[in-house]
Chain A
Amino acid sequence: MRRIGFSTGAVAKGDFRRGLDALRQKHVTVVELSALRLIELEPLIRALPDLDLSSFEFVSVHAPSHLAYIDEAFVTNSLSVAIKLGIPVVVHPDVIFEENAWRWMGRLLLIENMDKRKAIGRTAQDLEVLFNKLPESGFCFDIGHARQVDPTMTEARSILQAFSGRLAQVHISEVNTNSRHDPLSIYAISAFRAVADLIPEGVPVVLETIIDEGQSDIQTEIQRAQSALQFTHAVLPSEPGVPAPRQG
């Protein structure tokens, strides 16, 4: 069985505490603390050292997805709290203005592949440029973004084959034409199976399907994600760049 959890933002938008409570109640052991909007970052970081995350085997933080250049230093300084706690930080490459501001995060910085709205980070070729600039960093593979960019999943296979050694986390959801993260349809599940063999079983999987208005529920989406990624017999690789799951 894969380790599959949720983003707090998908379960309870703008309220990570409520999101954590909901996930604990369902005995979910993988969580991504969402600070996708800049205003969410400060309260999350302030609470982080004292937050009870003991029931989770894997925890990561998602950095804000929209930044102005002048906010970059504030964001990276804030995220240092997470890094010091050994918590990986997922970042969209288009908010990295100065590589030096992020490079020190080393293997705990997880660069995510982008959807088709973004000009960078969408293909294996794009990502290679980024990883050349930040060679220590790990990789968060967003399977929904990859499918939106290339529905044949050819690019997804190229990405996974190129960066398997860096793969530390997977995002899963159905990304629609407006780039919103929807619950998984049977068509997305079928498409995702085309790359399941390239995702080692031990890599934590985070659902980003927005369910905070009753679109679906935690258990259903986890079952769907298990189904989407079921054809795999691989194990977690031991290559450098893969952060160990956070214990308690």
Chain B
Amino acid sequence: MPENSQNAAERWVDGLEKRLNANWAAIRKARVDTNLNRARLRKAFYGRIAPDTSLVVFGSIAREEMTSRSDGDWILFIDGQALPEHVDQEQAIAEELEKQGFPKPGKSGVFGRMIGSHNIVHEIGGEDDTNSNTTRRILLLLESLPIGNSEAYERVRRQILSRYLRDDRGLLKASGSIKVPRFLLNDLTRYWRTITVDFVYKQRAEAGLKWALRNAKLRMSRKLVFASGLLRCFFCQLDNDAASAREALSAPMHDVSKLLMYLEDQLRQTPLDLLARAASRPNIDKTTARKLFDSYDQFLAILDDQAKRTELENLREHDMAKSSVWEDIRSLSRDFHLGLIELFFGQDEEIRSLSMEYAVF
């Protein structure tokens, strides 16, 4: 998501909130907080990002969902010659982010380091597409934000999209009129399933530490990112603005460039905006939209409440039954889940049919 995404003319979340006469204060506050933090980072790194590199941050800052103690995952992305000074840049970034109050990235080694572009672009699938590589690639598409010089970031993201589209023989060669990028969609789905499995792995490996907070995020923000990924693929078929892009895929040209640019536009929208756009379709019940956004708003409010967040962070399995915060998370995540089921498999015939065709088998 580019730095100016918050300035997009049409904010689907705002429109939906108004139409439903809702009050999603936590979502609005998170957006304001995010923009303040983005501005702070842009200022801190102004002129400090070398050519052919991009500082890319991930997670809530890219989704416009920053709360009181949001994570600080980042990579120094390199798309060019290896230079000795890259390591200096890497260290300078780590120091500056710490100075700016961003927590250190986790110990897994996925983030908080320099990463070259080649594996991310070339290793899609197969043994060399490691868990870390998949994570970086998918998050680069779905919830990332370049700070400062964005050229390397944009160049590589375009190459990744190009691979997903050009290598998708079904998309280019199939005679049917349905044009959903299945290769991309399958990889997004694979990533979602991977993090759900890794959740259990981490639960075992870390003896239940931070289980509750991690589970809350899995039920809400991780699931939102996956749902928005599915919607980005479905909108390639559903959106009238993508009509010429779909036509260009056909013989004799099999031209993917227009669909690629359409997807780039889609990726500039936050997951919440994508979800709001889908929830604003005429056949979607207001109750479904309320389920989705009321629950997500409450989730962000909990994360932004220092005491509640701390309780979630420290909660151990044997204390869960006594935790009202955990009970709230369970309740609102059920609503969010039901809202997604209704959105994808309910009232909207077109979305339901695409979900049946692409999202399950």
A residues contacting B by CB (< 8 A) are: 116, 149-154, 157-158, 177, 197
Q: Is the interface of B mostly helix, strand, loop or mixed?
A: helix
Residues on B with beta carbons closer than 8 Å to the beta carbon of A151: 155, 159
In the complex, A150→B159 CA distance in Å? Answer: 8
Of B81, B253, B260, which one neighbours A152 at CB under 8 angstroms? B260
Cross-chain pairs A/B with CB under 8 angstroms, 12 sampled: A149-B155, A150-B155, A150-B158, A151-B155, A152-B158, A152-B162, A152-B260, A154-B158, A154-B162, A154-B261, A157-B255, A177-B80
Cβ distance A118 to chain B, nearest Cβ, rounded Å: 12
Residues on A with beta carbons closer than 8 Å to the beta carbon of B95: none
Residues on B with beta carbons closer than 8 Å to the beta carbon of A158: 257, 261
Q: Is the interface of A mostly helix, strand, loop or mixed?
A: loop
Residues on B with beta carbons closer than 8 Å to the beta carbon of A157: 255, 257
B residues contacting A by CB (< 8 A) are: 80-81, 151, 155, 158-159, 161-162, 253, 255, 257, 260-261
| CB-nearest residue of chain B to A151 | B159
| CB-nearest residue of chain B to A152 | B162
Residues on B with beta carbons closer than 8 Å to the beta carbon of A116: 151
Cβ distance B245 to chain A, nearest Cβ, rounded Å: 12
The 6 closest A-B pairs by CB, nearest first: A152-B162, A154-B257, A157-B257, A154-B260, A152-B158, A152-B159
Residues on B with beta carbons closer than 8 Å to the beta carbon of A150: 155, 158
Residues on A with beta carbons closer than 8 Å to the beta carbon of B158: 150, 152, 154
In the complex, A116→B158 CA distance in Å? Answer: 15
Cβ distance B261 to chain A, nearest Cβ, rounded Å: 6
Cβ distance B137 to chain A, nearest Cβ, rounded Å: 16
Residues on A with beta carbons closer than 8 Å to the beta carbon of B81: 177
In the complex, A152→B257 CA distance in Å? Answer: 8
In the complex, A154→B263 CA distance in Å? Answer: 12
Centre residue among B81, B253, B257 by max chain A CB count within 10 A: B257
| CB-nearest residue of chain A to B259 | A154
In the complex, A158→B261 CA distance in Å? Answer: 10
Residues on B with beta carbons closer than 8 Å to the beta carbon of A152: 158-159, 161-162, 257, 260
Residues on A with beta carbons closer than 8 Å to the beta carbon of B261: 154, 158
Cβ distance B132 to chain A, nearest Cβ, rounded Å: 24
In the complex, A116→B53 CA distance in Å? Answer: 13
With A152-B159, A177-B80 already in contact, the answer to whether A197 and B253 are too (CB < 8 A) is yes
In the complex, A157→B151 CA distance in Å? Answer: 19
Residues on B with beta carbons closer than 8 Å to the beta carbon of A149: 155
In the complex, A149→B158 CA distance in Å? Answer: 11
Centre residue among A149, A154, A177 by max chain B CB count within 10 A: A154
A-B contacts besides A153-B257, A154-B260, 15 pairs, CB < 8 Å:
A150-B158, A151-B159, A152-B158, A152-B161, A152-B162, A152-B257, A152-B260, A154-B158, A154-B257, A154-B261, A157-B257, A158-B257, A177-B80, A177-B81, A197-B253
In the complex, A157→B244 CA distance in Å? Answer: 14
Residues on A with beta carbons closer than 8 Å to the beta carbon of B260: 152, 154
Cβ distance A195 to chain B, nearest Cβ, rounded Å: 9
Residues on A with beta carbons closer than 8 Å to the beta carbon of B80: 177
| CB-nearest residue of chain A to B165 | A152
| CB-nearest residue of chain A to B158 | A152
Residues on A with beta carbons closer than 8 Å to the beta carbon of B162: 152, 154
| CB-nearest residue of chain B to A197 | B253
In the complex, A149→B261 CA distance in Å? Answer: 15
Cβ distance B34 to chain A, nearest Cβ, rounded Å: 26
| CB-nearest residue of chain A to B154 | A150
Cβ distance A160 to chain B, nearest Cβ, rounded Å: 10
Cβ distance A156 to chain B, nearest Cβ, rounded Å: 9
In the complex, A59→B80 CA distance in Å? Answer: 36
In the complex, A4→B34 CA distance in Å? Answer: 53
In the complex, A151→B156 CA distance in Å? Answer: 9
Cβ distance A182 to chain B, nearest Cβ, rounded Å: 16
In the complex, A91→B15 CA distance in Å? Answer: 47
Cβ distance A193 to chain B, nearest Cβ, rounded Å: 12
In the complex, A235→B162 CA distance in Å? Answer: 29
In the complex, A157→B253 CA distance in Å? Answer: 12
In the complex, A151→B117 CA distance in Å? Answer: 13
Residues on B with beta carbons closer than 8 Å to the beta carbon of A197: 253
In the complex, A187→B31 CA distance in Å? Answer: 44
Centre residue among B151, B155, B260, B261 by max chain A CB count within 10 A: B155
In the complex, A29→B159 CA distance in Å? Answer: 37
In the complex, A131→B257 CA distance in Å? Answer: 23
Residues on A with beta carbons closer than 8 Å to the beta carbon of B257: 152-154, 157-158
| CB-nearest residue of chain A to B252 | A197
Centre residue among B80, B81, B162 by max chain A CB count within 10 A: B162
| CB-nearest residue of chain B to A148 | B155
In the complex, A116→B253 CA distance in Å? Answer: 28
